[in-house]
Structure 1
Amino acid sequence: MFKIKTIVLPLIISILIIGIFSGACYLSDVNNYKKAVASITIANIDLSRIPDGVYDGSYDVGYISAKAEVIVANGVIKTINLIEHQNERGSSAEVITDTIVKEQTIDVDAVTGATNSSKVIKKAIENALLQK
């Protein structure tokens, strides 16, 4: 009995410590993700100043990331190709590229239910146009 206690008790304590540490790391990651999304701002870009071309940009906040290709001609966004969009439940935000092309501005309303993905996609497009 004594031998079992000397083996099992430290094992249980180790498992508890690992669980607490893992939980704390997860909470820290989620907190950093929320701060990163909250800090996203979109610049007012004058498309007439963007030379014709194909621009690539990306943005990553941890749980959500996006890569976009933006084609500009004659001061107009012709096409936005969403190359990659890693998300949790925000795939519905991918239609925001159509809205941006239609309205010719990145500063469009987020897709309801996919606000964070909308922000990340818009930031990737901004970074493409600003070459960041």
Structure 2
Amino acid sequence: MRIPLLIGSILLLAACAGASPRPYSDEGVAGRWQGVLLRNGLRAPMAVELSAQDRDWRGRFSAGDNSVPLQDLRVTTNSVHFELPGEGTFEGAVAGDSMAGSISGGATGSFALKRDPGEAPWTIYLFGP
């Protein structure tokens, strides 16, 4: 009676050990980022939307009513690189919910973004809070 229980416990522990979480990946960079672009002493609001399917990254840059796709987009766990035709090359460092970096080519500058948390998820209470 004890041997089947012992074998069952060992199998359960082995199954749980194999279900460890994945290490942090660059997919944590995906989402909407909002902030400011600083060029020639002028600040302009901007947003970047990043999404990944497997290892294929796509993105859009938005400023005002304009939205254009990002080109040559490369993402790692702590950095982002993309180009905008006529605007330059953006190199940014990611730290948690912040992204900041520089712009080269054309008019140089810098940018600082924060992750947009989106709408807070609803909490459903069965019998009130």
The alignment's TM-score, normalised by the length of structure 2, stands at 0.35
The one of the two structures with greater contact order (alpha-carbon pairs below 8 A, sep at least 6) is 1
The alignment's TM-score, normalised by the length of structure 1, stands at 0.35
Q: Compare the two structures and name the one with the higher strand fraction.
A: 2
Q: Compare the two structures and name the one with the higher helix fraction.
A: 1
